Chains A and B, each alone.
Chain A
Amino acid sequence: MKSTGKLARTALALLGGTAVAISASGAWAQDNRIELQWWHAMSGALNERVNEIAEGFNKGQDKYKIIAVNKGSYPETLTAAMAAFRAGKGPHIVQVFEVGTGTMMASRAAIKPVYEIMSQNGFKFDPGSYLSAVTGYYSTSDGKMLSYPFNSSTPVMYYNKDAFQKAGLDPNKPPKTWQEFEPVLKKLKASGSTCPFQTNWQTWIQLENFSALHNVPFASKSNGFDGFDTELKFNSPLHVRHITTLANWMKEGLMVYGGRKNEANAKFISGECAIHMESSGGYASFSRGAKFKWGMQMLPYYSDVQGAPQNSIIGGASLWVLGKHKPAEYKGVAQFFDYLSATENQVWWHKNTGYLPITTMAYETTKAQGYYNAHPGTEVPVQQMTLKPPTSNSKGLRLGNFVQIRDVMDEELEAVWSGKKSPKEALDTAVDRGNRLLRQFERDAKR
């Protein structure tokens, strides 16, 4: 069908010149749907899921047509959207990773807040029906949703039950606190493990989520939610204590550094590493790849810290709506978000990707269907994220220049792991360098 149409069009263009070709291709268009561009960064299997969502929406109504386009990695997608917007050809919807939230908010002339689009187009929008631990990350301090939480995950602990057995540990009793960790790691090492423990995403898990779980500020002004004049706070004695613990474990061979992102997944799947911390989104690849018994568990905490464990915060990405489009198109966008929020679609997404549901209804439905019992561990991320009502320390992070700040933290942590800096020195430097980036962002935002 497609190729004949193309061929015919080409032939026409050759025969009758451009004018004929244009009118002909107009006649060929089967519908006059309003096209909505959705740029995203989901690759592989997730790309297919995204296409299925677009297809489902397109089939369910005949006014709008979502066109989902993969634009590469998260930074690449964001850069592409920015460049296109400058050229007046921006997409309607763009998927932006959570660290880009501050940047998007500051570009207020380029974005359309989601709550505005929903209310302007008559869609009822009840913030209470959403899981606040998810939506809070992308909402203003007074609960107005700025971007639509699409794929959210939270870090959890995965552990190799076979390795626990081999070390004479109870495979159903993984360590719950950081204090319980050390004896367990020692036993694992004694049983011959070359990698008792490793972590992915060290900044997200060991500093950002660590702060939220212990209910201590990562940055002042409610982690940046209350203003751009925020300062980083992750060099507190508790943070220094934790990084010192990890550094000592690395020296003793109880912990292994496996890179900044998720490169270390391979070493968990191969069975080399016994305890592994990774996003809840890692579930899919572990259940496919790991040839041993493994379990999931909430992240550990220091039991002597009051209020711990609080709740963990999310990562992942949300959908931002860009400005400079027609009102009729925004109506379509609102309808699409309404479609995404439907319980059945949320449940489908949650089960098929491992990402978190964003509405309470979706969570309850998944539970009622018996999914969590059939797939042990899959409820852990939701439970951990909703452990307690979020506080100003555990709502999320709203920092400008956050991409660079994460890199700064990574660099300084690597300096600790390689023994070049003491934990205190490194965290102080990271805070200092990060604050300079925050001040620059503040200056720019105020101009």
Chain B
Amino acid sequence: MAPMEKRVVFQNKFLPYLLVAPQLAITIIFFFWPASQAIVQSVLREDAFGTRSYFVGLENFIILFEDDYYLHSFQITALFSSLVTTIGLSLSLFLAVTADRLVRGTTAYKTLLIWPYAVAPAVAGALWGFVFLPGPGVLAYVLEQAGIDWNFQLNGGQAMFVVVVAATWKQISYNFLFFLAGLQSVPKSLIEAAAIDGAGPIRRFWTIIMPLLSPTLFFLIVVNVVYAFFDTFGVIHSLTRGGPAKATEVLVYKVWYDGFEAQDLGGSSAQSVILMVIVIALTVVQFRYIERKVHY
């Protein structure tokens, strides 16, 4: 750095703390406090009304890991999140690249592509549920005509397919927006220079656009993984309720089910603690290993 660096220094020692205080307060009230509550609850068992509670050590965790369906839920979550993230990102990147190259009608396309983001998850679930409903559903009809025995309420694989479609569709708009903004910040001169040097569109995409887009891509990977882990609850709840036979019961759905339907707060809290650990670990891995490949 240059020796003559200009720096603004706060004279008042307390002002900076005061300025970050609101943010800190929000973080403590809405993140640290609930998280600590979850940790406390996870070593307790109590009746549904909270009149009696007992410290049970790691019993809640032991019960979980003895449950085959909990381990099964891990696999389901891994499959679901990787599908939603990869399909969502590739599709929206493709759409963004295409929209970026458009000359006419760009605004119309952009608006249409951004729309799904405004749809609430439960509504998105209901919409896709109807489209795929055996009998009256439009796509269900097409699939039945194609000779497929379609009933996602009974077939686990088909149920997974439907929730992935709905969850991905919800997230495409968000990804699309960021990709499009990223693409528009790639200097035209670089692309033109490459074109003059004889690089075709595909070569230009991989050697120039992709590296310059990598910060956006990295950001979106993190956001999408978090989305697939947590925000897909509404879609799954309205489409399959985790079924059939737990085929779409992702971890966060089980947290909700055990806590609010089954009134098992201890078990539910233990799961949130595990989920918290997983997401922290995933984010650390992403920042340590994937971020290295990112060019800013």
The interface of chain A, by Cβ under 8 A from chain B, is 75, 78-79, 82, 85-86, 103, 106-107, 109-110, 257, 259, 401, 403-404, 410-412, 414-415, 417-418, 420, 440, 444-445, 447
Contact flags B44-57 to A (C-beta < 8 A → 1, else 0): 01011111101000
B204 lies within 8 A of chain A by Cβ: no
Report the minimum CB–CB distance from B95 to chain A (whole Å): 35
Report the minimum CB–CB distance from B187 to chain A (whole Å): 54
Known contacts A75-B261, A79-B260, A411-B246; A418/B155 CB under 8 A: yes
Known contacts A411-B243, A414-B244; A403/B261 CB under 8 A: yes
B238 lies within 8 A of chain A by Cβ: no
B77 lies within 8 A of chain A by Cβ: no
**Residue pair B244, A82 in contact (C-beta under 8 Å):** no
Q: Could you tell me the distance between the alpha carbons of A259 and B129 in the complex, rounded to whole angstroms? A: 14
A109 contacts which chain B residues (CB < 8 A)? 47, 49, 51-52
Contact flags B248-271 to A (C-beta < 8 A → 1, else 0): 000000000000111110000000
**Residue pair B49, A417 in contact (C-beta under 8 Å):** no
Q: Return the 6 tightest CB-CB contacts between A and B, nearest first.
A: A110-B49, A109-B51, A411-B245, A86-B50, A107-B49, A418-B154
B82 contacts which chain A residues (CB < 8 A)? none
Report the minimum CB–CB distance from A363 to chain B (whole Å): 34
**Residue pair A103, B261 in contact (C-beta under 8 Å):** no
B153 lies within 8 A of chain A by Cβ: yes
B78 lies within 8 A of chain A by Cβ: no
Known contacts A75-B260, A79-B260, A411-B246; A417/B154 CB under 8 A: yes
Q: Could you tell me the distance between the alpha carbons of A257 and B264 in the complex, rounded to whole angstroms? A: 30
B63 lies within 8 A of chain A by Cβ: yes
Q: Could you tell me the distance between the alpha carbons of A414 and B243 in the complex, rounded to whole angstroms? A: 10
Report the minimum CB–CB distance from B133 to chain A (whole Å): 10
Q: Could you tell me the distance between the alpha carbons of A259 and B154 in the complex, rounded to whole angstroms? A: 9
Pick from B48, B51, B52, B63: contact of A103, CB below 8 A.
B48
16 contacts between A and B (CB under 8 A): A78-B48, A79-B260, A82-B49, A85-B50, A106-B47, A401-B262, A401-B264, A404-B262, A411-B243, A412-B245, A414-B243, A418-B154, A420-B245, A440-B63, A444-B47, A447-B45
**Residue pair B49, A414 in contact (C-beta under 8 Å):** no
**Residue pair B245, A110 in contact (C-beta under 8 Å):** no
Known contacts A79-B260, A82-B263; A411/B244 CB under 8 A: yes
Residue total for B at the interface (Cβ-Cβ under 8 A): 22
**Residue pair A444, B155 in contact (C-beta under 8 Å):** no
Assuming A107-B49, A403-B263, A418-B244, what are 12 further A-B pairs, CB within 8 angstroms? A78-B48, A82-B48, A106-B48, A109-B52, A110-B51, A257-B153, A403-B261, A411-B244, A415-B245, A420-B245, A445-B47, A447-B45
Q: Could you tell me the distance between the alpha carbons of A86 and B260 in the complex, rounded to whole angstroms? A: 15
- Please give me the residue from chain A that is nearest to B49 by CB atom: A110
**Residue pair A107, B244 in contact (C-beta under 8 Å):** no
B245 contacts which chain A residues (CB < 8 A)? 411-412, 414-415, 420
B54 contacts which chain A residues (CB < 8 A)? 447
Q: Could you tell me the distance between the alpha carbons of A78 and B243 in the complex, rounded to whole angstroms? A: 23
Report the minimum CB–CB distance from B81 to chain A (whole Å): 23
A444 contacts which chain B residues (CB < 8 A)? 45, 47
B45 contacts which chain A residues (CB < 8 A)? 444, 447
**Residue pair B154, A107 in contact (C-beta under 8 Å):** no
Q: Could you tell me the distance between the alpha carbons of A106 and B263 in the complex, rounded to whole angstroms? A: 12
A440 contacts which chain B residues (CB < 8 A)? 63
Q: Identify which of residues 148-190 in chain B touch chain A, using a CB-to-CB cut-off of 8 Å.
A: 153-156
**Residue pair B47, A107 in contact (C-beta under 8 Å):** yes
A404 contacts which chain B residues (CB < 8 A)? 261-262
